[in-house]
Amino acid sequence: MTKILVTGGAGFIGSNFIHYWLKHHPEDEILNLDALTYAGNLENLRSIQNNKRYKFIQGDINDPKIVEKTMQKGIEVVINFAAESHNDRAIVNPRLFFETNVLGTQTLLAASLKKKVKRFHHISTCEVFGDLTLDSAYAFKENDPFSPRTPYNASKASANHAVMAYYHTYGLPVTLSHCSNNYGPYQFPEKIIPLFTTNLLRDKTLPLFKSSQNKREWIHVDDHCQALEAILLKGKLGQAYNIGTGVEKSIEEIANFLLAYFHKPVSYKNYIPDRLGHDRRYLLDSTKIKETLNWQPKIGFETGLKQTIAWYQENSAWWAPLL
């Protein structure tokens, strides 16, 4: 039995991960430490709230007292999902992003070192590497230099440096992963796929940044969870792993797919000024995790997107209160 601390487990990816892990690892226990910001939602975990192998603690990862107290509950493994995660919000309030994403991570690292955990896994993003031109043949590799261009990306890159510093300086047993853009159930309707879906379900138009040819690499959150499982079980300490599918779609393509799905005309596209520092494209080279840990994404983009749309269609009681 392993006692795992998941931080940010009331958010999109963290809650999917908790469901995944409890289902596939019936011997393990999970403690979920989450501050319940606007993005944290205990409804994501309602079906397991009485599960004896799961416990929720409300608290800030940047509060050393709460973090150390939580760690004393027999924690052996820490997986850090907690973060401010929305680029648009970071432009308005960058300080909060550095407090949570950088200092919060450092607070967890310090407490993990003190507790002598067996593993600290940090969830990072493809966005730390900066952006690619739309026609570039390049894909980012794990050890490429970071070149973040927005406050969110800079805060995530800084956290990565802190994680590796704790490995090299203090020998904390860390692993780290950079994932591409996730989609799936329980994603807050500020992110593009749930935003567009919930808008169309309410017969509203789609706000597209003017640079709508900008592309993202898409992964279903279940494939992300399986990749994390592979890293946690077989990953090498001190290593970073890219997690991507190679499937790129522009925002324009996502909008077109959803409009066709809901039988809406192109006049539902509403072009708005670009976000400041809007990155054009990120693409990960995920050869390392595929070849060394034998991971492969399983969910095709169109299948996963249709399943996700169906989930939002069936779960308006989940998203309507969040709008």
Ligand X SMILES: NC(=O)c1ccc[n+]([C@@H]2O[C@H](COP(=O)([O-])OP(=O)(O)OC[C@H]3O[C@@H](n4cnc5c(N)ncnc54)[C@H](O)[C@@H]3O)[C@@H](O)[C@H]2O)c1
Interface ranges with ligand X (CB under 6 A): 7-8, 10-14, 34-37, 39-40, 60-62, 81-85, 100, 104, 123, 125, 156, 179, 181-182, 188
CA neighbor of 21 nearest in space, from 71, 77, 101, 69: 77
Sequence-distant (6+) residues with CB within 8 A of 8 are 14, 34, 40, 61, 80, 81, 82, 83
Question: Computed from CA positions of residues 281, 294, 182, 66, in that sequence, does the dihedral angle turn out positive or negative?
Answer: negative
> Which structure tokens are listed for 85?
């995660």
Name the minimum Å distance from CB 100 to ligand X.
4
Nearer to ligand X, 99 or 252 (CB): 99
Name the minimum Å distance from CB 137 to ligand X.
23
Name the minimum Å distance from CB 266 to ligand X.
26
Name the minimum Å distance from CB 143 to ligand X.
18
Nearer to ligand X, 87 or 268 (CB): 87
The whole-angstrom separation of Cα 158 and Cα 25 is: 32
> Which structure tokens are listed for 74?
């027999």
Nearer to ligand X, 36 or 201 (CB): 36
Name the minimum Å distance from CB 1 to ligand X.
25
Nearer to ligand X, 12 or 120 (CB): 12
Nearer to ligand X, 11 or 255 (CB): 11
Nearer to ligand X, 45 or 293 (CB): 45
The whole-angstrom separation of Cα 305 and Cα 97 is: 29
Angle subtended at Cα 178 by Cα 69 and Cα 106, rounded to the nearest 5 degrees? 30
Name the minimum Å distance from CB 93 to ligand X.
12
Nearer to ligand X, 12 or 167 (CB): 12
Q: Which long-range contacts (CB under 8 A, 24 or more apart) does 317-322 make?
A: 318/43, 318/186, 319/189, 319/194, 319/198, 322/41, 322/188, 322/189
- Contact between 162 and 276 under an 8 Å Cβ cutoff? The reply is no
Q: What percent helix, strand, coil does the chain show, rounded to 5?
A: 45, 20, 35
- Contact between 70 and 57 under an 8 Å Cβ cutoff? The reply is yes
> Which structure tokens are listed for 310?
């169906």
Q: Which residue minimizes CB distance to ligand X?
A: 11
Name the minimum Å distance from CB 267 to ligand X.
29
